[in-house]
Structure 1
Amino acid sequence: MTTPLLFTPLTLRDLVLKNRVVVAPMHQYAGERGFATDWHLMNAGRYAAGGAGLFIVESTKVERRGCGTVGDLGLWDDAFIPGLKRIADFTRACGAKVGIQLGHSGRKSRTGRPWEGGRPLTPETANVPDWDRWELVAPSAIAPDARTPVPRALSRSEIAAVVQAFARATARAEQAGFDVVELHGAHGFLIHQFLNPQSNQRTDDYGGSAANRMRFALEVAEAARAAWPAHKPLFMRLSVDDGTGWDPAASVGLARELKARGIDVVDCSGGGMLPGPVPNAPPAYGYQVPYAAQLRQEAGIATMAVGLIVHARQAEAILQQGQADLVALARELLYNPNWPLDAAQKLGADPQFALVPPAAGWWLDKRRASAPGVQPSTFGTTT
């Protein structure tokens, strides 16, 4: 039987992924003053042991003022390296490669956790010792909405400093032992704020034309690539269409430039400038997959598809149709951390459960051999 593409290895530079299933970065809001906790270790282990090829740690901030909430992870100091290295080492020990997403929230910083209302914080509600360091900055002094404080526009020298903050965090990610770095250029955060003409109304060479608005993203990519080993792949996540001025045609142009600067994979998402669903793409199965297909075809770059990818045959079809090189799941993996194991069974790719660590796979294979008529619960009932 031909191995499904979903479970065919993929080589990116010198990195070999055992399959094309990626655990997308998901904010846990569980950091303690930027440090990883046991929750993050457990979170990584459950997905890695479930059979995924690559697990990506949530958006980890390159500056203190880039933190979105009090629970964000940080990598702006060497002190954060040991905790993240523990996660990287443990993830690989469970059978998956491991990446980390690096980001800066810009004007979307300094907010409460979403289940606590997600409102802008004050010194009293934040209850942090370094409130003054947690400053709202952005390309321009424009708030995202009426309820949010107006950020301060970054000076040119500060822009250069933020670029270097991304580079230093990338170097720390290498020290922590990560296999992949993903730069977060989507969802209304700082890199995306520079790209969008509504949030970026600068009059210098970082604003105005599309080429100028792309300058910050490209400088970050160049600096990160220089700080990251040549044999390791570098990703960037984009909101391919945000519905407010940044569109797929612009993303194709940016993706071409990113490829020339050493970006290996574009993680194709959408939205983020406005609350709610992605404009022009109401939620439905695979609703953002066309973004990955367009950039793959028109920019000639490897892409990762995201967005309500739920079922095994759906994920396989995305790859078979050449719409993406990788598929990333998030909330469906929260529902079922063993989704890769389950998908492999449904596609007939792993009859002896070799995809997962032997502490689980040995027992599952023993049940298969001794009770061949038994179906796993995820296959539905037989009555």
Structure 2
Amino acid sequence: MAPKNSPAPNAPYFTPVQSPPVGTAISSNPPILFTPLKIRDVTFQNRIWVAPMCMYSASNGHLTDFHLIHLSAFAYRGSSLTIIEATSVSPNGRITPEDSGLWQDSQIAPIRRVADFVHSQGQKLGIQLAHAGRKASTVAPWLADRGKSVVATKDVNGWPDDVVAPSAIVWGDGYVPPKEMTENDIKDIVDGFRDSAKRAVQAGVDVIEIHAAHGYLLCSFLSPISNRRTDKYGGSFENRIRMLLEVIQAVREAIPIGMPLLVRVSATEWMESQAPESWDVESTIRLAKLLPGLGVDLLDVSSGGNNPAQQIEMHTDFQTGIAGRIRTELFKSGIRDLLIGAVGMITEAEVAKSIVEAGKAVEVDQTIEIIDEQDAVAKADIVLVARQFLREPEWVLRVAHTLGVDVQWPNQYGRAKL
């Protein structure tokens, strides 16, 4: 009997099964970068994830065939998790009129289409839930001068009269002066995160990420520079993190217990030299220590974006080094159940390898468990990569080749294997 070209299980159409999933190490003793990691009920075959990247190409919040092609290109080339771009939980939470959304049921099916294909390849799909806050109602970046912003007015489907923030403080030139949110507004947005998370589960995503970085709504609540409120959502550290914690609790309650929950933060707003108080790395460490108790599994460490006056100390380790500092401080406090993701200027194989590799570890049930305190010097457990995937959708395969790791390729592409 001839061998059978077996179909992928549970796929809504025929596509050959990919077993093991592309990007799985098939050589012995691979580096940690190419070892599996299990988070709750989800196992990732390597430590390389595609970070969420806004494409400004949705149709009234609905993903299109562009997104199917764009996201699938990374997934079937070996990324163990591909995260859908910042997806707004309400119409006024989009950055541009063409942002992805999940505030209504009709937006579920296009995401389900992407999820069905990604799953047919044996890969995992995530989604980043977000609200743009005071950075909402702008036009797509390629319609403005580089580094500038232009307000999306009503004639181009913008909503300049409905931009909200913790306080009525404009982000900068080219942005709408926002309205200060009432407590009812805050409750509505928390409910929006909850409802969008439920829709994401219906759409078949495997992982949820809450966006609390880059100056968007939840991030702007954290900083005393952008949050000047005098009620229970402003002032003290505990008050400024309150909305984020309420969102985390709402989302965690809305998703299955076995689904991983991630939170992305700007670990510093890079304003330490200009403001006596700002959101900084120490603030993030303080926040991070609270997250495991709320059911958060991984902290995705980014930075900046909350103030146009930020002064970023740009170098190759400018952000991944912060991730390492946070991870080390968590370990010193005995907290080992919050994983850390590193992102930013990760373009080379050896750099990605070094971020997750340090100290002594042992493989247990196909996952890596730490057995030596020295491992605290590893910067992160996962690397999240964005722009390099736009340059090289097959970056996982190229990294493996550079590191001398034999990994599974797509069956259909086997003749081209490096």
Separation in 1 of the partners of 2:308 and 2:51?
20
State the match for 2:311 in structure 1.
279
Q: Is the 8 A contact 2:170 2:177 kept in 1?
A: yes
Instruction: Give the aligned residue type for 1:331.
Output: R
Counterpart position of 2:99: 72
Cα deviation, 1:28-59, whole Å, max 9, x if unaligned, reads 10001111011100011110122111100000
Give 1:280 deviation, angstroms. Answer: 4.1
Counterpart position of 1:311: 348
The one-letter amino acid paired with 1:54 is L
Q: Secondary structure at the match of 1:68?
A: coil
For 1:76-87, list aligned pairs within 5 A.
76-87=103-114
Report the CA distance shift for 1:211/1:233 in structure 2 as closer, same or farther (over 3 A).
same
The equivalent residue for 1:265 is 298
In the other structure, the counterpart of 2:200 is 173
Is 2:393 aligned against 1:337?
Answer: yes
Q: CA deviation at 1:23?
A: 0.3
Using the TM superposition, name which of 286-295 and 213-222 deviates more: 286-295
CA drift of 1:120 comes to 1.0
Contact 2:52 2:128 in 1 (8 A): yes
Q: What are the superposed Cα offsets for residues 64-88 of structure 1, whole Å, 9 maximum, x if unpaired?
A: 0101101101100111000001111
1:364 matched residue in structure 2: 416
TM-score scaled to structure 2, two decimals? 0.82
d(CA) in 2 for partners of 1:327, 1:333: 12
Task: Determine if contact 1:48/1:55 at 8 Å carries over to the other structure.
Answer: yes
Pairing 1:18–2:42 present: no
Query: Alpha-carbon deviations, 1:162-181, whole Å to 9, x = none?
Result: 11110110111100001100
Match of 1:220 in 2: 247
Distance of 2:63 and 2:208 partners within structure 1: 17
Deviations 1:169-210 (A, max 9, x none): 011110000110000000000000100111110000100011
What is the CA–CA distance in structure 2 between the aligned matches of 1:251 and 1:279, rounded to whole Å?
Answer: 18
Aligned partners of 2:119, 2:313: CA distance in 1, in Å? Answer: 35
Task: Find the partner of 1:288 among 319, 324, 335.
Answer: 319
Offset of 1:90 from its aligned partner? 1.2
CA contact (8 A) 2:211 2:264 kept: yes
Count of residue pairs the alignment pairs up:
356
1:185, 1:191 within 8 Å by CA — same for their partners in 2? Answer: yes
Q: CA deviation at 1:279?
A: 3.0
- Greater share of helix: 1
Cα displacement string for residues 311-338 of structure 1 (whole angstroms, at most 9, x for unaligned residues): 1111111111311000011111111010
How far apart are the structure 2 equivalents of 1:326 and 1:148?
34
Q: TM-score, normalised by structure 1?
A: 0.90
Which residue is equivalent to 2:3?
A: none
SS at match of 1:320: coil
The residue aligned with 1:302 is 339
Residue type matched to 1:328 in 2? L
Distance 1:121 1:52 in 2: 34
Distance across 2 between alignment mates of 1:225 and 1:207: 24
Judge conservation of contact 2:137–2:176 (CA < 8 Å) in 1: no
Q: Residue 102 of structure 1 contacts residue 182 of structure 1 at CA under 8 Å; is this kept in 2?
A: yes
In 2, are the aligned partners of 1:285 and 1:310 still within 8 Å (CA)? Answer: no
Question: Quick check: 1:45–1:94 contact (8 Å CA) kept in 2?
Answer: no
Structure 1 residues 341, 146: CA separation in 2 closer, same or farther (over 3 Å shift)?
A: closer
Match for residue 237 of structure 1? 264
What secondary structure does 2:119 align onto? helix
SS in 2 for 1:305: strand
Deviation of 1:95 after TM superposition, in Å, equals 3.6
Verify the 8 A CA contact 2:172 2:308 in the aligned structure 1. Answer: no
The separation in 1 between residues aligned to 2:226 and 2:138, in whole angstroms, is 18
CA deviations on 1:125-174 (whole Å, 9 max, x unpaired) are: x246xx48x71011111111244332111111111111111011011110
Which residue number in structure 2 is paired with residue 380 of structure 1?
none
SS at match of 2:290: helix
Amino acid at match of 1:270: S
Q: Tell me the amino acid that sits aligned with residue 269 of structure 1.
A: S
Gaps of 5+ in 1: 366-375, 377-383
Tell me the SS of whatever aligns to 2:289. Answer: helix
Q: Which runs of 5+ in 2 are unaligned?
A: 1-27, 272-277, 359-377
CA contact (8 A) 1:218 1:257 kept: no
Contact 1:24 1:56 in 2 (8 A): yes
Alpha-carbon distance in structure 2 between the residues aligned to 1:285 and 1:217: 30
Q: What letter corresponds to residue 318 of structure 2 in structure 1?
A: Y
Which runs of structure 2 are paired with 1:176-187 in the superposition (5 Å)? Answer: 176-187=203-214
- Counterpart CA distance in 2 for 1:94 and 1:156 is 44
What is the CA–CA distance in structure 1 between the aligned matches of 2:308 and 2:230, rounded to whole Å?
Answer: 27
Secondary structure of the corresponding residue to residue 27 of structure 1? coil
Paired letter, 1:257:
L
Provide the identity percentage: 40
Residue in structure 2 matched with residue 121 of structure 1 by the alignment:
152
Over 3 Å counting, the alpha-carbon distance change for 1:179 and 1:127 in structure 2 is: closer
